[in-house]
Amino acid sequence: MTDPNKPDQKPAGQEPAEAPTPPSGAYLSPKLREKLEGAKETDADWEPKKGSPLPALITTVVIVAVAIGGFMWWRSSAEKQKAHEAAVATARADSLAAAARADSLAVAARADSLARAAADSLARQKALLAAGPPAPHGYGIAVGTFLVEERAKSERDRLSAATGLPGIVAPTAEGGSTSYRVILGRFDSRSVTESKAASLLESNRVSEALVVMRPK
């Protein structure tokens, strides 16, 4: 049983919902005062939960999304830069290859031109060698040699009339004696003279036809 004159006693089996605040000037036993102060300290330490966690979650999602977007942008930029560098390198390689091909073709064309020029020069030299040294007074066709000058002159006149070529009698010294050679025509080219001599032989108008240099 409780004594109504002792306020620090409480019925057995019952717990107060909260510590009562004593009226001003009321007497408090040390034990009751200690319980009241302990209840105030517990109430001061306890803080109610503040707000919903949704804003923090949204902020986290936004930060993650921004981070992912930034990474994707950086990756796309890096790939584009890499593709651009590869395209530039390919274009440069193609340009160098084209320049090399052009240089090679130019060198080949120059070499071919030089080879043709050398071949033409060689052909001209061969033609000059075949034609022999140039004759100061031209070339003629020797058609006979005679010991008597009068006989040589008679043959000159006859063959000139038969061939239509002008003739001369040129004295030559052979074996310590003088002989007289009948020469027909006057030609500047040895090849033309050889062709005419062959024609005279084929026509049987002369019995011999030698290409010689005309005397002065």
The per-residue pLDDT for range 71-92, each reduced to its tens digit, is 888 888 888 888 888 888 888 8
Question: 92-103: per-residue pLDDT in tens?
Answer: 888 888 888 888
111-129 mean pLDDT: 72
pLDDT tens-place string over residues 155-165: 999 999 999 99
pLDDT band for position 134 (50/70/90)? Answer: low
Which of the four pLDDT bands, split at 50, 70 and 90, describes residue 57? confident
Mean pLDDT of 111-127: 74
Band (1; pLDDT cuts 50, 70, 90): very low
Out of 6-10, 82-86, 185-189, 201-205, pick the least confident: 6-10
> What are the residue ranges spanned by the domains of the chain?
54-131, 139-213
Can you give the chain as a three-state secondary structure string?
Answer: CCCCCCCCCCCCCCCCCCCCCCCCCCCCCHHHHHHHHHHHHHHHHCCCCCCCCHHHHHHHHHHHHHHHHHHHHHHHHHHHHHHHHHHHHHHHHHHHHHHHHHHHHHHHHHHHHHHHHHHHHHHHHHHHHHHCCCCCCCEEEEEEEECCHHHHHHHHHHHHHHHCCCEEEEEEEECCEEEEEEEEEEECCHHHHHHHHHHHHHCCCCCCCEEEECCC
**Mean local confidence (pLDDT), 188-192:** 91
- What is the architecture of the domain spanning 139-213? 2-Layer Sandwich (3.30)
Q: Which residue has the higher pLDDT, 132 or 82?
A: 82
Sign of CA dihedral 171, 172, 178, 179: negative
Q: What is the pLDDT of residue 151?
A: 95
Mean pLDDT, to the nearest integer, of 190-198? Answer: 93
Mean model confidence pLDDT for the chain: 79
**pLDDT bracket for residue 41 (50, 70, 90):** low
List the single range of 10-14, 78-82, 149-153, 198-202 with lowest mean pLDDT: 10-14
